[in-house]
Structure 1
């Protein structure tokens, strides 16, 4: 393992403190009281007592104090030995030191905690987190930092130190093969991305490299992945779920929660490359996909192949939702709307339009519990009932959690 010199060296790098770890906080860190303030502690578990290294630094002109566990004095029963040699210096996996069952419960609690912050959602029942088939080697997308003449690795979130990584335990095997071929040869860039089709063997590497020592192809503009056997072309800048197997499970769950019978009209309001719209279309009478990215819409049209009941709308969701009934001759509200917005959540105009449109069912997919809870509060106050909340472990070994919430309109629809 190579640690580069720390360019943002804390004032007292060797400072340590004995800390009692409280609840799990932001970014997958535990919270502790230190010097009359609460600080984030990387590598802990609630209830533990530890000796931690203290880091003092400035970010965006603000003084920040953080800590990293150095020695565990009183261990949680959920603590396990992290299998990755880079764990700690590389902060990408926040929870390798926590047993997998405990990770699943922490993710369920993170969703529940966000919902409890809104009185209208405080009684919501959050299901156990749905585990995936793979706890490691599940990611189909890697973004590497490049430093020191072409070394690939990651930068620690707290120390800002660069850590050379020769193999990442979260990445699919094809990504690690490319990493080996690219390591020490990529000095012409500062960042690179590798994306793979877990079910197709396709691989995309950006940017284009000119170094003749690099023997893997690079500069591809698209790659192809299959979900439930259906091919999806994905452009290099387009969003696609990083865990292929769990993406398939999530699609099945959306279908199940919407209770589709085949007679419905369904709208996919943040369609991207068309995953939900394309895979739901064979199970409904009509599907409409809304997306404001031209490149994503172009991919989605190709991905739709010969589906004749799927219509694409290139527009912002907050605009298209207001006119969709009249412009596309629906004759009334759609039966269901699928929302899968960016991490920040839905645009306020989208939620306003949804409450005016009032479809019978809404399926909301989110990777950010706070923004999900904020938007669900608006929908529930607008007359919807929250029927189910299902966390899905799309990101094992990290604090991130995907979640599906389903809602239904009241009888006054």
Structure 2
């Protein structure tokens, strides 16, 4: 029996006129032809254009913009010369007002799609006064092209590297460090890693900078222990990179897209660099997670503190605590804060940061939040007044969500970088007796489609 072919309203290589209605989460324009979505890069809602269909699937297709007939009032000229090829940013062709509005709409649409709710207050997105040069960390893959080492970000939807001399969203000190190290590696003819063959030495150049401390860490991610001309490389980086505080080698032998391997060696300098958020100091080790936008991180954490509504006598649990940044922000106003994180190295950093900032009322544990939090309750009698979660993109483990519902804290503060999984988890918490009071989007990643949110939930089922 032959499969019945589904008739599509568009065909590959067809050229047609469309009007764009929306944007995808990757920043492509969305036009519909007889209800069939067509995704086209470099298009904005409201614009009318001729497009060429380049690929079709059962549920949607892709097109290329050929000629624009009308231009959105929100369109701007991207200042980056490689913007149309590089995959690092998606929204440089859209003004800031429209970017902030788009990100709020992402959240509203997710709440409607995954919760069926249109009544949850979603505040206007909090943006930056200067939405450029904000990143304090760069992870730049390297490759070889025409016999020469190149370094840059991957092109959209590919592993093809776009060579980069300057990145407009990287902090200036970081940006300069990447270019200096790139030229040093060329000078000593260090062989770039080749994904296909698995041969070569250098996989990534990583630069991390403490915005207020001025300290810079450079990490070379290598394909094995051997690093040719190691002493000369270290001396060159020491003398040529401004603010250099630490030089590190990370060894990743696996054939994988994951950036870091398990082994890290300090080649010169300190194990940590320092970053500051508000009054707090944070020691950052080579692989520790920390928000990449320190200016907006302070905005985000202040909103967490406001939503937590602490008065000095509360017990707080910070699940997915990382290096303890949110824990310490809340410790000043809480009686006790418990933080849990699955990565042992991050917990070591968290304990160091608690001492650095003189907070004896914070306790950190290594493990999965969905296992440690119930143990705290059963073995130590911990009853939380406030629980804060800041999970990865996949959202909270369902067991942790059920544990939070069973613990009945008065307030839950949910920090999320993924509106879809946020909405899914809010649905579970809402069914478990919590009212979603307010969602506050914060633009942590200007010029990209990513959005961070802080959500406040309060318990609506009271004990009799």
Global fold match (TM > 0.5): yes
Give, in angstroms, the shift of residue 40 of structure 1.
Answer: 2.1
**What is the rounded CA distance, in whole Å, between the counterparts of 2:59 and 2:216 in structure 1?**
42
**What is the rounded CA distance, in whole Å, between the counterparts of 1:65 and 1:157 in structure 2?**
16
| 1:171-320 correspondence to structure 2 within 5 Å | 171-184=170-183, 185=186, 187=192, 188-207=201-220, 210-211=228-229, 212=232, 215-217=236-238, 218-219=247-248, 220=266, 221-305=271-355, 306-320=358-372
**What is the rounded CA distance, in whole Å, between the counterparts of 2:461 and 2:36 in structure 1?**
49
TM-score (norm 2): 0.80
| 1:60-209 correspondence to structure 2 within 5 Å | 65-119=61-115, 121-148=117-144, 149-158=148-157, 161-184=160-183, 185=186, 187=192, 188-207=201-220
**Per-residue deviation, residues 337-358 of structure 1 (Å, max 9, x unmatched):** 0000001100111101111111
| 3-state DSSP of counterpart to 2:20 | strand
**Per-residue deviation, residues 292-345 of structure 1 (Å, max 9, x unmatched):** 211010010000013211111222110122132343343xx3110000000110
Distance 1:410 1:33, change over 3 A: closer
| 3-state DSSP of counterpart to 2:202 | coil
**Per-residue deviation, residues 243-274 of structure 1 (Å, max 9, x unmatched):** 01111111111111111111111110111000
**What is the rounded CA distance, in whole Å, between the counterparts of 2:165 and 2:297 in structure 1?**
27
Give, in angstroms, the shift of residue 21 of structure 1.
Answer: 1.6
**What is the rounded CA distance, in whole Å, between the counterparts of 2:430 and 2:280 in structure 1?**
35
Give, in angstroms, the shift of residue 28 of structure 1.
Answer: 2.1
Mark the structure with the bigger radius of gyration: 2
Q: Is the 8 A contact 2:178 2:205 kept in 1?
A: no
Instruction: Say whether 1:406 aligns with 2:456.
Output: yes
TM-score (norm 1): 0.89
**What is the rounded CA distance, in whole Å, between the counterparts of 1:162 and 1:325 in structure 2?**
49
**Per-residue deviation, residues 86-123 of structure 1 (Å, max 9, x unmatched):** 11111221111111011000000000000011445331
Aligned to 2:398: 348
**What is the rounded CA distance, in whole Å, between the counterparts of 1:302 and 1:194 in structure 2?**
22
| 3-state DSSP of counterpart to 1:121 | coil
Higher relative CO (Cα under 8 Å, sequence separation at least 6) belongs to: 1
Gaps of 5+ in 1: 1-12
| 3-state DSSP of counterpart to 1:190 | strand
Q: Is the 8 A contact 2:115 2:424 kept in 1?
A: no
| 3-state DSSP of counterpart to 1:123 | coil
**What is the rounded CA distance, in whole Å, between the counterparts of 1:264 and 1:318 in structure 2?**
21
Alignment length (residue pairs): 397
Give, in angstroms, the shift of residue 193 of structure 1.
Answer: 2.0
- What is the aligned-residue RMSD (CA, Å)? 2.6
